[in-house]
């Protein structure tokens, strides 16, 4: 799932002014949690006549370490205390994946996770900035879905349709019968696909979590 948020729609967010300092800002990974806020590793390119000293003037952004600087290219860590940073780093069932970047006055935010986790994340993003963003399922990353090795194309199609129709939203935006009508299938078939897909996701997520401990 990928969000594209324009600068004018994020003006009120504490770290929104980052777009006025960096030509490009790439998120690499979360290094650690510090006082309930993530410390993130970034690779960035400064705009002309901008410097790293200006970053600390942005609310909710604290540069922790400049690891490398070569002209306008910088590798650094920063504690990000803003609501989006806390949101993307504080969930167990949804997590950030590349690409996450600021470029051309917009934020591109990519997330992966369980259907319920992504649905909850979507609702929380809406609470922050409303519905003023572009949302897509990033086809380039579909092969990396946790469930991809264990899910048939038909089951995956049913799951994607359910997500897009809001079946996993809270409150739900549709019923299984609505999905069945949309896909011209029996409700019982849809129910079976969703139940098995959810089982695939939970098992794969559990195995990945256990192997990463």
Q: What is the pLDDT of residues 179-203, one digit of tens each?
A: 999 999 999 999 999 888 877 766 6
pLDDT tens across 139-172, in order? 444 444 443 446 788 888 888 888 888 887 767 7
Provide the pLDDT for residue 208: 54
User: In angstroms, what is the C-alpha Rg of the chain?
Assistant: 19
Let me know whether 19 and 115 are in one domain.
yes
Read off the pLDDT of residues 9-24 as tens digits, 9 standing for 90 and up: 655 565 667 888 898 8
The more confident residue out of 212 and 179 is: 179
pLDDT(90) > 70 = yes
The residue from 113, 140, 167 where one domain ends is: 140
Its domain, for residue 169, covers 146-212
E-strand spans in the chain? Answer: 2-6, 22-34, 37-46, 61-70, 73-80, 94-96, 101-103, 106-113, 134-136
Q: Are residues 158 and 97 in the same domain?
A: no
- What is the three-class DSSP state of 184? coil
Asked if residue 38 lies in contact with residue 85, where contact means CB atoms within 8 angstroms, the answer is yes
Neighbours of 184 (CB within 10 A): 6
At a CB cut-off of 8 Å and minimum separation 6, what does 69 contact? Answer: 52, 75
Q: Give yes or no: residues 181 and 106 share one domain.
A: no
193 shares a domain with 103: no
Task: Indicate if 86 and 174 belong to the same structural domain.
Answer: no
Q: What confidence score (pLDDT) does residue 88 get?
A: 80
Mean pLDDT of 45-69: 91
The pTM (predicted TM-score) of the whole model is: 0.58
56/159 same-domain check: no
pLDDT at 154: 87
Rounded alpha-carbon distances, angstroms, from residue 191 to 55, 147, 161, 175, 178? 50, 18, 13, 10, 11
23 and 116 housed in the same domain = yes
Q: In this structure, are 94 and 24 located in the same domain?
A: yes
Lowest mean pLDDT among 41-45, 123-127, 161-165, 196-200: 196-200
Residues 121 and 174 in one domain: no
In angstroms, the CA 121 to CA 143 distance is 21
Provide mean pLDDT across the span 70-80.
Answer: 93
């Amino acid at each position: 799932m990928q969000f594209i948020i324009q600068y004018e729609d994020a003006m009120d967010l504490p770290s929104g002014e980052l777009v006025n300092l960096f030509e490009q800002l790439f998120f690499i990974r979360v290094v650690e949690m510090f006082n309930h806020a993530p410390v993130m590793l970034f690779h960035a390119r400064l705009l002309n006549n901008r410097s790293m000293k200006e970053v600390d003037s942005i609310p909710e952004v604290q540069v922790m370490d400049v690891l490398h600087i070569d002209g306008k290219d910088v590798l650094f860590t920063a504690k990000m205390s803003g609501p989006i940073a806390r949101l993307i780093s504080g969930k167990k069932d949804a997590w950030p994946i590349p690409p996450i970047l600021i470029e051309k006055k917009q934020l591109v935010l990519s997330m992966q996770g369980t259907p319920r986790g992504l649905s909850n994340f979507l609702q929380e993003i809406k609470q922050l900035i409303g519905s003023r963003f572009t949302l897509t399922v990033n086809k380039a990353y579909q092969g990396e879905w946790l469930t991809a090795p264990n899910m048939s194309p038909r089951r995956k199609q049913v799951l994607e349709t359910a997500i897009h129709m809001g079946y996993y939203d809270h409150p739900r935006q549709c019923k299984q019968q609505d999905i069945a009508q949309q896909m011209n299938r029996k409700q019982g078939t849809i129910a079976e696909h969703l139940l098995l897909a959810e089982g695939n996701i939970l098992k794969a997520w559990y195995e990945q979590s256990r192997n990463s401990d």
